[in-house]
Amino acid sequence: DQQVKQNSPSLSVQEGRISILNCDYTNSMFDYFLWYKKYPAEGPTFLISISSIKDKNEDGRFTVFLNKSAKHLSLHIVPSQPGDSAVYFCAARGNAGNMLTFGGGTRLMVKP
Amino acid sequence: DSGVTQTPKHLITATGQRVTLRCSPRSGDLSVYWYQQSLDQGLQFLIQYYNGEERAKGNILERFSAQQFPDLHSELNLSSLELGDSALYFCASTSVQGNTEAFFGQGTRLTVV
């Protein structure tokens, strides 16, 4: 039972364009959502988060949007840079112990 | 550098063997999480400890166990290893109170041959 799903395993965009990564969840008890970025041979690195009481959070080139009614969140990267090429995981909190439930990840490739 | 230290970085062992993975959380963090990532899949939550006590359990096999010691470091023990246990094992820590984002170590790549 996957409570957090990233339906696109990969995404390719041109440098300078917008990258949109999507994530869907099923558990309405989740109250906090996060995006992590992962390079090969490294651990995931926290990128940006959003509380369930908000619908948007922006940090530089990164913006996360939350649509609670649709149980959907997205990460926008504008403009995309080659260094953004990595695997992006969305995660949600709401279970006991602050445990994070992760999606399967989306591999983003930004072409120069 | 996340401040979370995992050792060893790589481990190769034979089926049927037992291994121990070690994690030192960030200074001051009381909560430690273990995750497994198999072959480009997502991170599967295994188990969480908070200040020495088990707090939450995920899809952790009975052959696997963990503990958190008084100095807050944690160990994940994997026994009767099978080929399918080959994966990246990540440890993460958080203070639980306030800060929600978990900080991850670089992981231990376990290869069972």
The pLDDT tens digits of the residues spanning B6-25 come to 999 999 999 999 999 999 99
Other C-beta atoms closer than 10 Å to the C-beta of B111 total: 12
Q: Which two tokens stand for residue B60?
A: 């952790």
Greatest distance between any 2 Cα atoms in chain A: 43
pLDDT digits (tens, 9 = 90+) for B66-76: 999 999 999 99
Q: Which amino acid is at B59?
A: N
Residue A100 is predicted with a pLDDT of 84
B104–A93 CB contact, under 8 Å: no
Nearest CA in chain A to B42: A104
What distance in Å separates the CA atoms of residue A77 and residue A79, rounded to the nearest whole number? 6
Q: Cα torsion at B108, B111, A83, A102 (round to 10°)?
A: -70
pLDDT of residue B108: 97
The verdict on B4 touching A (C-beta cutoff 8 Å) is yes
What is the rounded CA–CA span in Å between residue B3 and residue A77? 27
Give one word for A71, left, alpha or beta, with left for phi > 0 and alpha for psi -120 to 50: left
* pLDDT in the model for residue A77: 98
**What is the per-residue pLDDT for B80?**
97
How sure is the predictor about B99, in pLDDT bands with cuts at 50, 70 and 90?
Answer: low
The pLDDT of B30-45, averaged and rounded, is 87
**Paired tokens of B97:** 């109170």
Burial-class residue A9 by CB neighbours within 10 Å (0-12, 13-18, 19+): exposed
Give the residues of chain A that fall short of pLDDT 70: 1, 95-98
Cβ within 8 Å, pair B104-A44: yes
Which residues have C-beta within 8 Å of that of residue A99, sequence separation ≥ 6? A93, B33, B45, B48, B55, B56, B58
pLDDT at A44: 93
CB of A100 less than 8 A from some CB of B: yes
- Residue B71 is predicted with a pLDDT of 94
The mean pLDDT of chain B is: 91
- Residues in Cβ contact with B10 at an 8 Å cutoff, skipping those fewer than 6 apart: B108, B109, B111
Q: For residues B17 and A9, what is the distance between their CA atoms, to the nearest angstrom?
A: 34
Q: Hey, CA dihedral for A86, B104, A4, A92, is it positive or negative?
A: negative
Facing residue for B107 by CB, picked from A43, A100, A105:
A43
